[in-house]
Amino acid sequence: MSLSQIGFLVPLNRNLEEDTSTPKLPISTGANVIGRNSISVSDKRLSRKHLTLIASGNGFVDAVVVGTNPVVVASGNQRKKLRTGEKAVITNDDIIELIPGHYFFKYVTVAGKKCEKKGNSMDAQNMESNEVSLSRKRMRQVSEDEAFARKLQAEMENDALVQERSLVTGKSGYSQASTASIPSSHMNSEAIRHFSIPKDNLPLTYRLLRVKDLPAWANTSSVSIRDVIQGDVLIAVLSNYMVDIDWLLSSCPTLAKIPHVLVIHGEGDGTLDHMKKKKPPNWILHKPPLPISFGTHHSKAMLLVYPRGVRIIVHTANLIYVDWNNKSQGLWMQDFPWKVQKELSKGCAFENDLIDYLSVLKWPEFTTNLPALGSFNINSSFFKKFDYSNAVVRLIASVPGYHTGSNLKKWGHMKLCSVLQECIFDKEFQKSPLAYQFSSLGSLDEKWMTELASSMSSGSCDDKTPLGLGKPLIIWPTVEDVRCSLESCNASYKDVHPL
């Protein structure tokens, strides 16, 4: 036994008895990383670096959650759930649930006695010092930012120019600030803080999700999940890759009151078992079939049926706490009315986009009676009953598989290419840069990236000349960006650059 070893994590079964089929995890002084690799499971809810235990020589351990899902620490009669970045002190006989209700471990010191806390370990002191330093840096930056924001606000009151043009519809307005006296280093970053559009046009815009702990100006016009799922919803279809059903129900109680909820997900067996146990009885869970041996269901969208129409949301966040609270995420959302009887057979490009994709998901059809509306079979064709003629976007969907013939331009970047080929752009957009921001970039070869660039550059200018191939611009965070983010060192470093 190593002289620095101070204890073990002893695996337990659901009856909180020792599970001898799983090896104990040794805990030594310093930092101990516990995660998916430590206990040899494939459960995606458990990060590879899920929990860090910082042990001191006196037997006390600081437990810090670094994974995306919460951890539960039970001490005596108290049970506390810790989310990403939160920490607690554990002592002899305390029980850890790496996922709430799953993967139980008891912390046992080598001496087998309750620890007597005489002070923090050097590692804990260093961590606290680093956190204080980082906190001060953030506060200083926020103070400077707010000072510039106030200066801009004063200038805007005199110099604001309202232009009748929207990013999406071409009908709303926005404010543009004078930048004459703004330091060049802040000019671009400050202007976005005062972007505004008339409130009656907000539903037609893209929105950012509200981020916890940001200053008020940074959350202007942002939305939470409760802002999105609200009102008298009759049917909800939630499509996503990762689903934390406990967080979802607690953060959006409206969901528990909706008569019919269909969750289309990409979760594995471990999480799926938990979802089945926790879901309300009127919920249906469906994992779409995959026609090839790799790929996953990754689409993040919601379809909410109301007595007066349907709300469609396409967003970027998994249905988990950290994605809706700690990360920069966005959504597009628009409401559509029911079709009148004489126009039931009429369609549009947006409707075709939507129905084509929903048909591929092959969810289990169910029948329901909607008050004052009648009985309906809820399948992909059901969503033809809404009038999408006022849609201000086109949907670009991707499905796994090998596509040929008429399907070649139905999905992915080839679909994007076909849509852009129908568009006419102002001359100023010729050879516009192509901005890429996605974590799987490193797994793609040059041939595919060339095809993507070609598709993204499709279309013509108003003088009938091709739009032309733009310069690729790859966006990714530096180590310093991650270190100074809300999740700080708990965030993943797999996509960062060392500069």
| pLDDT tens per residue, range 9-25 | 999 998 889 998 889 99
Considering the domain architecture, whether residues 254 and 213 belong to the same structural domain is answered as yes
Do 330 and 320 form a contact (C-beta atoms < 8 A)? no
What DSSP character marks residue 406?
A: G
Which residue among 146, 166, 198 closes a domain?
198
The residue segments making up the domain with residue 114 are 5-118
How does DSSP assign 54-122, residue by residue? EE-TTS-EEEEE-SSS-EEEEETTEEEEE-TT-EEEE-TT-EEEEETTEEEEEEEESS-S-----S--H
User: Residue 221: what pLDDT?
Assistant: 85
User: Residue 382: what pLDDT?
Assistant: 97
The answer to whether residue 116 scores a pLDDT higher than 80 is no
Give the span between the Cα atoms of 350 and 336, in whole angstroms: 11
Do 72 and 97 form a contact (C-beta atoms < 8 A)? yes
Which residue among 176, 198, 220 closes a domain?
198
The answer to whether residue 102 scores a pLDDT higher than 60 is yes
User: Residue 230: what pLDDT?
Assistant: 93
Give the span between the Cα atoms of 367 and 378, in whole angstroms: 6
Considering the domain architecture, whether residues 393 and 321 belong to the same structural domain is answered as yes
Which residues participate in the annotated binding site for substrate? 300
User: Residue 240: what pLDDT?
Assistant: 96
Query: pLDDT digit string (tens) for 467-494?
Result: 999 999 988 888 777 777 777 655 554 5
Which residue among 118, 148, 175 closes a domain?
118
Which residues participate in the annotated binding site? 300
Average pLDDT, the chain: 81
Nearest in space to 182 (alpha carbons), one of 151, 143, 144: 151
Asked about 403 being catalytic, the answer comes back as: no
Percent of the chain having pLDDT more than 70? 78
Q: What are phi and psi of 415, to 5 degrees?
A: -65, -45
Residue 383 token pair: 């969503």
Query: pLDDT digit string (tens) for 208-246?
Result: 999 998 888 889 889 999 999 999 999 999 999 999 999
Percent of the chain having pLDDT more than 90? 53
In this structure, what CATH number is given to the domain that contains residue 64? 2.60.200.20
Q: Determine which of 29-38, 163-172, 301-310, 313-322 has the lowest per-residue pLDDT on average.
A: 163-172
User: Residue 174: what pLDDT?
Assistant: 32
Give the span between the Cα atoms of 434 and 456, in whole angstroms: 7
The answer to whether residue 426 scores a pLDDT higher than 80 is yes
Considering the domain architecture, whether residues 108 and 133 belong to the same structural domain is answered as no
Considering the domain architecture, whether residues 82 and 161 belong to the same structural domain is answered as no
Considering the domain architecture, whether residues 16 and 52 belong to the same structural domain is answered as yes
Q: What are phi and psi of 227, to 5 degrees?
A: -70, -25
Considering the domain architecture, whether residues 215 and 181 belong to the same structural domain is answered as no
- Looking at per-residue pLDDT, the higher value among 297 and 58 belongs to 297
Name the band, by pLDDT with cuts 50, 70 and 90, for residue 442. confident
Name the band, by pLDDT with cuts 50, 70 and 90, for residue 34. very high
User: Residue 294: what pLDDT?
Assistant: 74
Q: Determine which of 313-317, 453-457, 479-483 has the lowest per-residue pLDDT on average.
A: 479-483
User: Residue 146: what pLDDT?
Assistant: 47
Do 398 and 297 form a contact (C-beta atoms < 8 A)? no
Considering the domain architecture, whether residues 226 and 355 belong to the same structural domain is answered as yes
Name the band, by pLDDT with cuts 50, 70 and 90, for residue 41. confident
Q: What are phi and psi of 92, to 5 degrees?
A: -50, 135
The answer to whether residue 157 scores a pLDDT higher than 60 is no
In this structure, what CATH number is given to the domain that contains residue 390? 3.30.870.10
Q: Determine which of 1-5, 61-65, 353-357 has the lowest per-residue pLDDT on average.
A: 1-5
Considering the domain architecture, whether residues 42 and 136 belong to the same structural domain is answered as no
User: Residue 293: what pLDDT?
Assistant: 74
User: Residue 155: what pLDDT?
Assistant: 43
User: Residue 211: what pLDDT?
Assistant: 94
Considering the domain architecture, whether residues 231 and 369 belong to the same structural domain is answered as yes
**What would the mean pLDDT of 59-72 be, rounded to a whole number?**
88
Q: Which helix (H) or strand (E) holds 134?
A: helix 122-159
The answer to whether residue 189 scores a pLDDT higher than 50 is no
**What would the mean pLDDT of 64-69 be, rounded to a whole number?**
89
Name the band, by pLDDT with cuts 50, 70 and 90, for residue 197. low
The answer to whether residue 118 scores a pLDDT higher than 80 is no
User: Residue 76: what pLDDT?
Assistant: 83
User: Residue 190: what pLDDT?
Assistant: 41
Considering the domain architecture, whether residues 98 and 226 belong to the same structural domain is answered as no
Q: Which neighbouring-strand residues pair with 73?
A: 80, 96
User: Residue 495: what pLDDT?
Assistant: 56
User: Residue 488: what pLDDT?
Assistant: 65
- Number of compact structural domains in the chain: 4
The answer to whether residue 144 scores a pLDDT higher than 60 is no
The answer to whether residue 156 scores a pLDDT higher than 60 is no
pTM of the entire structure?
0.62
Considering the domain architecture, whether residues 90 and 25 belong to the same structural domain is answered as yes
Q: Which of 186, 298, 315, 413 is catalytic?
A: 298
Considering the domain architecture, whether residues 43 and 108 belong to the same structural domain is answered as yes
User: Residue 182: what pLDDT?
Assistant: 34
